[in-house]
Homo-oligomer: A and B are copies of this chain.
């Protein structure tokens, strides 16, 4: 129930528009992560001014606090956090594995204890769909099991098969509405045969978009790209392709080259709070002593609020003094950098110059 229109292609890279109930998403798109109903250290206006068309919310965090029911009562996640553009929510599957304790996985779903207060919860495909419906997500993700990495072929197969059964249950309980979509998640770790089965069977069920899950879990850039190379041919071309949890700028450029349309990652926000910035000259840590009397902007080629108004010396001071404004300004810059990169990627696709751009980009920043 989502309209996806490819506007231009360059090699395997595609530029498109994905239409949702809360507006259009220009792809390739990067979704800043708004875990607990806030993109950390940013006002929604700042996120908007950076050029983001869509943000991501985390089902796991929101179901525990303040709860999906409370957010629904307050008018849904968009209204609650004052973000009127599209929102994608993950299914809780990944975070329940990485954050909760005392997990017990069964055919039914995952029993776990909250990392906040130790309370017991059960997350099933049906409950995940219900939570994402209560939140009002434009794009709902199916509930899947996220296997660890590295994992044996046998275990990856068993997990992928469980995820397939959960995908069917997710689709069954997803309430169809115009402008709202359900994305599948292809699993299978780094095994081509498993990725093929997962992709093929998910396409048989039929979804509005297809995500690649189980990457960005420590496998490294090369194995990630290799996995994409053998997985992407099994994806339906006229649907959006989303690489979950990725990544660094070079990962994004490499993945767009393989036909990926959507990304999310905590890197720009988390790095921003830690003093690390992405710039046209590569990554820099603003805490570095060499910046203490450097009157130049963080990135001389950047037009963001942080770069137009403040010096490296000032940012260095803010981080030394542990001032909140340091986190605000660097997060703002990093999100702007990522959105600007996506803009550049889209332009290069339109100019049918993406593969050259990608080669140069990888050479410069690898």
Contact = CB atoms under 8 A, between A and B. Distances in A.
A66 interface: yes
Q: How many copies does the complex hold?
A: 2
Given A292-B70, A295-B75, A80 B324 contact: no
Contact of A317 (B37, B73, B292, B293): B37
A342 interface: no
Q: Which 9 A-B pairs have the closest CB atoms?
A: A41-B324, A66-B317, A82-B309, A38-B325, A36-B321, A38-B323, A74-B313, A74-B295, A80-B314
Given A66-B320, A324-B41, A74 B311 contact: yes
Contacts of A365: none
A81 interface: yes
A318 interface: yes
**Size range of the interface on A?**
35 or more
B314 A81 contact: yes
A244 interface: no
Interface string A316-347: 11101101110111000000000000000000
B325 A42 contact: yes
A325 B74 contact: no
A155 interface: no
Interface string A298-318: 000000010001110110111
